[in-house]
Amino acid sequence: MKLLTRLLGAGTRGRRGATMGHPALALVCRLALAAIFLYAGVPKVARPQLFLVAVRGYLLLPDAAVPIFTVVLPAVEVLAGALLLLGIWVRPSAAVIAGLTAMFLIAIGSAIARGIDIECGCFAGQTSRVGWSLILRDAAMLVALVPVLAARRHWLCLCPGSGGAGSSHKSALQTPQGGTE
């Protein structure tokens, strides 16, 4: 926990944190993740029928929860992706995307463990079966989230105080909620 705090929370003070949270690296990762989640989410919001079949294929949720999950998940993907793209509430939206990616990892991992051969449902219009390559892809997305979460400053950002903690340590001490949010 301390390591995590040093790595992510105290980015500008520790050398390691400063490297991980460099605004340029954070920007590249942020835009890439935002693009991925918008690309994944928008078609699913537009055509939930296909995604419904994919969700049901995982056989993880009770029948009654499947349609609600099918409708809610893509919208959360789109909202978090859009906030990340615009640079509003960067850290909270990155945290949401981290949670989603972790959930995908668990779902895909459980499908592999149970030996069921199903459509991933990751991107509409693409047929990719659940397998280890998807585990690697999701793990890579989690790694890409680290610089976004660690950064104290963000370039090309609509809200300078975003990121959940203000843009500097000083502001974090004064207003833990973070500047203008």
Q: Note the residues at the interface with other proteins (CB under 8 A).
A: 5, 9-10, 45-50, 52-53, 56-57, 63-64, 66-68, 70-80, 83, 89, 91-93, 95-96, 99, 118-119, 164-165, 172-173, 176-178, 181
Q: How far apart are CA 72 and CA 67, in angstroms?
A: 9
Q: Structure tokens of 73?
A: 């998940």
CB of 43 to other proteins, least distance (A): 11
Our CB check for other proteins shows the closer of 72 and 136 to be 72
User: Which residues lie below 8 Å from residue 161, measured CB to CB, with a gap of 6+?
Assistant: 167, 171, 178, 179, 180, 181
Our CB check for other proteins shows the closer of 5 and 136 to be 5
Q: Are 38 and 92 in contact (CB under 8 A)?
A: no
CB of 143 to other proteins, least distance (A): 19
Q: What is the DSSP letter of 8?
A: I
CB of 31 to other proteins, least distance (A): 18
| Cβ neighbours, 10 Å, residue 2 | 7
First to last CA, the chain: 26
Our CB check for other proteins shows the closer of 93 and 138 to be 93
CB of 78 to other proteins, least distance (A): 7
Our CB check for other proteins shows the closer of 25 and 66 to be 66
- The one-letter amino acid at 104: F
The helix or strand, by DSSP H or E, that contains position 73, with its residue range, turns out to be: helix 66-86
Q: How far apart are CA 170 and CA 179, in angstroms?
A: 11
Our CB check for other proteins shows the closer of 15 and 136 to be 15
CB of 46 to other proteins, least distance (A): 7
